[in-house]
Amino acid sequence: MMRAYISLISILISAGLLLAQDDQASLPYLQTAAFNLPLLEGWQNQRGDAFAQFHFAEAQASIRAALLELPDPIAAAGTDLNRAFGIEPASPIYQDKVNLADGTWHVLLYEPDDVTSASVMARRAEAQSVVISFVERDPEMRVLMLTIAQNGDARKDAAAELDLAWNLLATPAADLTEETVFSLPSGQWTGLAGDSSLAMGMAFGNDSYIAIGEGATSKLPMLADAYNRTVLGFFITPDNSGYLALALAASFAILALLILSFFWRSRNIQKDLQLIESLRQAEG
């Protein structure tokens, strides 16, 4: 029976290992040692142990998330762009801050050369920094992604921020007339198209998420959706293993107290019996 029990346990552990791997494979999220972010379908997964990276070859675009041992988010953004993409970021063409649910993020846009653009969000996580970046190197297209805090009460449209970003970043600032609505997994986006240009905006919470594309803009909705799903779906799993250790210690302590009380009571019975025996002998 013991042998059968051990065999059953071995089978269960093996099945558990297989099914746990299966769970991991079917999870819509990518787990790294430090954080989680949605898996992007159709993108090549180039993850490492300490970073997540997806690449879309057709658009020469990459989305990357990394945790760096640097407390300054802007320095961390520069370091990560340099380390991962060989970009030497000079001063950003746009820099701002936004308060999202998980903290204050720095929004940075870089254009280190004629074909490369890097849209970065970075925030401090205790003594480290989280950097989420979108880098594209398609000579036929220029893409910039940014998040802008809405002024005043939250609105359901990103029109004001879209207009602001377009006037600030488009080269040259052309008129956008044709309005299109894109229903994407990340949300409902409003697109304004002009001559070889497209600007998209989505309102979420108190912020507007903007994507600006110039040149061949047909892939912009897909790229904007992928990057913003990454930004909105990114989260750090809290390290609460200390609580797990405490709960296990409490469980073991209660079980140990129960079992020790059995031994203690057995010992007391034995002592009582010895006493009774010695009393009987004394009487005899």
Partner 1 sequence: MTAKTKQEPLPQAVAATPMPGLLKLLTMLSLVGFCCALVLGLFVAGTDIQQGEIQRIFYIHMPSFFGAFSAFGLTVVGGFLYLWRKSERWDRIALAGVEVGLAFALINLATGAIWARPIWNTWWTWDPRLTSAAIMALTYAAYLMLRAGIEDEARKRSFMSVYGIFAFTSVLVTLFIIRVVPETIHPVIVGASPQNAQGSFEATSGVVIALIPSLLLWLTVLPITLIWHRSRIERRLEAVNRLKMQILSEQI
Residue 284 is a binding residue for partner 1 (CB under 8 A): no
Residue pair 207/98 in contact (Cβ under 8 Å)? The answer is yes
119 to each of 58, 237, 259, 274, how far by Cα in Å? 18, 24, 61, 83
Pick one of 12, 75, 173, 174: the residue that binds partner 1 (CB under 8 A).
12
Contact flags string 235-254 toward partner 1, x per CB under 8 A = x-xxxxx-xx-xxx-xx--x
Residue 233 is a binding residue for partner 1 (CB under 8 A): no
Round to the nearest angstrom and report the end-to-end CA distance of the chain.
Answer: 50
Which C-beta is closer to partner 1: that of 173 or that of 254? 254
Residue 257 is a binding residue for partner 1 (CB under 8 A): yes
Pick one of 17, 75, 154, 174: the residue that binds partner 1 (CB under 8 A).
17
- Read off the amino acid at residue 222: M
Q: Which two tokens stand for residue 48?
A: 């490492």
Q: What does residue 272 show for φ and ψ, rounded to 5 degrees?
A: -60, -40
Using alpha carbons, select from 164, 168, 172 the residue that is nearest to residue 109. Answer: 168
Smallest gap from Cβ 203 to partner 1, in A, equals 25
Smallest gap from Cβ 40 to partner 1, in A, equals 16
Instruction: Judge residue 149's burial from the number of C-beta atoms within 10 Å of its C-beta, 0-12 exposed, 13-18 middle, 19 or more buried.
Output: middle
Residue 262 is a binding residue for partner 1 (CB under 8 A): yes
Residue 9 is a binding residue for partner 1 (CB under 8 A): yes
Count, residues near partner 1 per rule CB under 8 A = 47
| DSSP assignments along 69-83, one per residue | S-S-HHHHHHHHHHH
User: For strand 36-38 and strand 44-45, is the pairing parallel, antiparallel, or unpaired?
Assistant: unpaired
Q: How far apart are CA 121 and CA 5, in angstroms?
A: 54
Instruction: Judge residue 194's burial from the number of C-beta atoms within 10 Å of its C-beta, 0-12 exposed, 13-18 middle, 19 or more buried.
Output: middle
Q: Which two tokens stand for residue 120?
A: 């970065």
Smallest gap from Cβ 192 to partner 1, in A, equals 36
Pick one of 7, 24, 171, 196: the residue that binds partner 1 (CB under 8 A).
24
Residue 203: strand, helix, or coil: strand
Smallest gap from Cβ 47 to partner 1, in A, equals 15
Which C-beta is closer to partner 1: that of 20 or that of 50? 20
Helix, strand, coil percent values for the chain (each to nearest 5): 40, 35, 25
Pick one of 29, 55, 159, 194: the residue that binds partner 1 (CB under 8 A).
29
Smallest gap from Cβ 256 to partner 1, in A, equals 10
Residue 255 is a binding residue for partner 1 (CB under 8 A): yes
DSSP type of residue 190: E
Residue 90 is a binding residue for partner 1 (CB under 8 A): no
Which C-beta is closer to partner 1: that of 26 or that of 177? 26
Give the containing element (helix H, strand E) for 23.
helix 2-26
Which C-beta is closer to partner 1: that of 12 or that of 90? 12
Smallest gap from Cβ 206 to partner 1, in A, equals 23
Chain residues binding partner 1 by CB under 8 A are 1-2, 5-6, 9, 12-13, 15-17, 19-20, 22-24, 27, 29, 31, 36, 235, 237-241, 243-244, 246-248, 250-251, 254-255, 257-259, 262, 265-266, 269-270, 272-273, 276, 279-280
